[in-house]
Structure 1
């Protein structure tokens, strides 16, 4: 059974091979891109130079060389290469792989086990690798498109080094096209702009690019094709985006930080990227409303209302017209004055409430509907603010055993400039009247 997972070739394969397979590098030096892990001073370069290759988790998008690099690492270290996929491999299959590796080890041959989509194994399955990694039966190289911090066990991560592989740049993709042209013995039938458009269609995925090149090379054309003709004949590769994965969280983070940074153009770009990837506009409307509350607050109280109105407009109009209303709210919050003073004050108050437990309010602000409560001093000494000078009594409303706190600190931006004046005004009156205990100065 283990032979089903091994890479050792059997009878010669004389059938047609995809271009991506024909161009698979035969040495690490031939790999395009990823110098941040393969360079002489990069992690893999240093490991190989020292002859101390350890278990590795490759984290990166599809089509950037994870499988290829793993296979070449086995060649470089003279290890037997075994490839499995977490999607198609169950516990019985894993046992057979481990037994074959043990037998191989007794015969003096090590095993590099490459596990594609390793994050799809559950906790128990991931734990199953640990003893075989520790006793040297296998050298594990895992590949994942998801954040290992969230998807892999801490025990597995502690025994591996996570290396991040990046999407290929346009320069990398151009070099890949040149290799394809050399392999096929002719140039792509595209003019300059169309050639650039083809690279952009691949969206950083080398395997996707070679598949596109293979399609273009199969066409019978006499003249070089233009961008318009190319886009008519080919569909752009769908952008990598998983509503429950890293793509989702990365883009919403970019959107939020663009708004916080008061950049409406960048905010619109990330908003459009998420819509193009199929994100629910209602989710975006909710998140933009959250931005108004968290990052603008009382610096512009109208921002929250604009977001809610735009959200309601979307619900009435539906798609695709309703997305424009949300975009209008997005521009508003991006350009609004920013303040997180309310957010900071709220978190501080919640922390204090958790810390102080069940402290009672001071008796002078407690209601006394019964004579017993009045005898206990409830309501005694309460100053009715409307009867006080300036409508402000200056009494202390914190618990008796808790000093006065000052959590809300409005910024000198937007409407909070006015609120700053009010906060300072009441603080001055409180000091002048010296009412209550522990008033801050």
Structure 2
């Protein structure tokens, strides 16, 4: 069988030390750190195991939270043969071989748990190839993905598998893992309290990354305990996990937008900084906050858009990092500005009305009549020139003749829209008066 489908890692020579992550690999599900929302007695996977009703699964979560380990332990718990493949390196001929070998095992009385890492990288046809083998019991599929399964996996596959969300490890989880590592290496880490906390934060919820960092720290000869400065001078901080084209990108921009909408400048600046630290293009952020000014502030503060456009221009002139401060200032202004989506809602309703009544013509009295025929057809007849009317307002109806006049723009009692609401009410009363 190809190395691609080996069920156990290749044995290392006696002279090669086993990596700490391998030495601390849990031997049973109860040893797994974290994920109790899934693995605990009341968690869905715990309930499935207790009732002997385990079915195909998809684990969705960030790197280093135990997806592969849990899959391997599930095979042990259920006496299934464990086969691991990666969607990055596996083609259709390889899949056929996996399915044929699973059928052979099944004929001999043993089932197969097929663990597929990065399952979202399989195309639609490859994902479809799993379906008949899942349905007839040839394989119990356990997929792992860091991407949103709703977008990346076929509906047919998702309908046959239950999705479990695995979360990044908490600081308490990482501390427990650190204590286990210290027992394994036989000595405490040479770090003071704040440095130890900094080490856990560097791992960013990734248990495998933490163990790799611990191996480096444990190998140092320090002659005493290191403080945060000593730790960071010897150990490069890991870059924050941030995929500018993946789920994390959309999650963070959503958090930024909702923080602005919720008038929380501190949270808005935090998510702004998170995206910048992850390598996001400041131009993208300038464009998005300008959209926020239009959508969530609108005419409650017309200056909001101007602040955003000016900040965008400042960034284009100064570049990074100086120009990012201008965007941050505009973001702070937006968070503290009065909020209104009245104009946004009015626009959406206008689009809906236009789609519904798109074939109706404008009323003839507001149509120009440049030809004799058009005048004979009544074009422009009865049009009242508003500047000649009392108060500069004729009160005529400008909607199609067969359309009931809708109310689209409904300003709120916040910010500048208080003044606009007075104007709307004023013209509404005049319109009624003119048409009595």
Q: What's the CA shift string for 1:223-254, capped at 9, x where partnerless?
A: 01111000001111111111110110000000
TM-score between both structures, scaled by the size of structure 1: 0.97
Match of 1:362 in 2: 363
Match of 1:37 in 2: 38
Task: Give SS of 1:427's match.
Answer: helix
Q: What's the CA shift string for 1:263-309, capped at 9, x where partnerless?
A: 11111111111011100000000000000000011001111011001
Task: Give SS of 2:84's match.
Answer: strand
Match of 2:128 in 1: 127
Task: Give SS of 1:163's match.
Answer: strand
CA 1:50–1:356: 2 relative to 1, 3 Å: same
Match of 2:426 in 1: 425
CA RMSD in angstroms comes to 1.1
CA 1:13–1:109: 2 relative to 1, 3 Å: farther
Q: How far apart are residue 216 of structure 1 and its match?
A: 0.3
1:347 and 1:127 map into 2 onto residues whose CA distance is: 39
Match of 1:382 in 2: 383
Task: Give SS of 2:308's match.
Answer: helix
Match of 1:438 in 2: none
Q: Which runs of 4+ in 1 moved over 4 A?
A: 8-13
CA 1:8–1:251: 2 relative to 1, 3 Å: closer
1:243 and 1:430 map into 2 onto residues whose CA distance is: 52
Q: How far apart are residue 319 of structure 1 and its match?
A: 1.1
Q: Higher mean Cα deviation, 239-248 or 1-10?
A: 1-10
Q: What's the CA shift string for 1:400-424, capped at 9, x where partnerless?
A: 1100010100000011000000000
Task: Give SS of 1:413's match.
Answer: coil
2:256 and 2:430 map into 1 onto residues whose CA distance is: 43
Q: How far apart are residue 11 of structure 1 and its match?
A: 6.4
Match of 1:439 in 2: none
CA 1:325–1:11: 2 relative to 1, 3 Å: closer
1:401 and 1:434 map into 2 onto residues whose CA distance is: 17
**Conserved 8 A contact 2:387-2:393:** yes
**Conserved 8 A contact 1:194-1:230:** yes
Match of 1:7 in 2: 7
Q: How far apart are residue 4 of structure 1 and its match?
A: 3.9
Q: What's the CA shift string for 1:305-324, capped at 9, x where partnerless?
A: 11001101110111111111
Q: How far apart are residue 8 of structure 1 and its match?
A: 4.6
1:426 and 1:321 map into 2 onto residues whose CA distance is: 47
Note the 1:168-317 alignment, pairs <5 A: 168-317=169-318
Q: How far apart are residue 433 of structure 1 and its match?
A: 2.0
TM-score between both structures, scaled by the size of structure 2: 0.98
1:129 and 1:429 map into 2 onto residues whose CA distance is: 69
Match of 1:166 in 2: 167
Q: What's the CA shift string for 1:352-393, capped at 9, x where partnerless?
A: 101112100000000000110010000001111111111111
**Conserved 8 A contact 1:2-1:100:** no
Q: How far apart are residue 6 of structure 1 and its match?
A: 3.0
1:300 and 1:248 map into 2 onto residues whose CA distance is: 28
Structure 1: give runs of 5+ residues left out of the alignment: 436-441
**Conserved 8 A contact 1:81-1:113:** yes
1:313 and 1:221 map into 2 onto residues whose CA distance is: 47
**Conserved 8 A contact 2:168-2:205:** yes
CA 1:385–1:12: 2 relative to 1, 3 Å: closer
Q: What's the CA shift string for 1:125-175, capped at 9, x where partnerless?
A: 111111110111100000000000001010010000000000000000000
Task: Give SS of 2:163's match.
Answer: strand
**Conserved 8 A contact 1:19-1:211:** yes
Match of 1:394 in 2: 395
**Conserved 8 A contact 1:383-1:393:** yes
2:42 and 2:13 map into 1 onto residues whose CA distance is: 38
1:269 and 1:95 map into 2 onto residues whose CA distance is: 49
1:94 and 1:291 map into 2 onto residues whose CA distance is: 47
Note the 1:39-118 alignment, pairs <5 A: 39-118=40-119
**Conserved 8 A contact 1:314-1:326:** yes
**Conserved 8 A contact 1:294-1:340:** yes
1:94 and 1:111 map into 2 onto residues whose CA distance is: 14
CA 1:127–1:80: 2 relative to 1, 3 Å: same
Aligned length in residues:
435
Structure 2: give runs of 5+ residues left out of the alignment: none
CA 1:10–1:329: 2 relative to 1, 3 Å: closer
2:34 and 2:110 map into 1 onto residues whose CA distance is: 31
1:59 and 1:224 map into 2 onto residues whose CA distance is: 38
**Conserved 8 A contact 2:12-2:18:** no
Q: What's the CA shift string for 1:308-353, capped at 9, x where partnerless?
A: 0110111011111111111111111111110000110000000110
1:3 and 1:284 map into 2 onto residues whose CA distance is: 45
Task: Give SS of 1:162's match.
Answer: strand
1:354 and 1:316 map into 2 onto residues whose CA distance is: 42
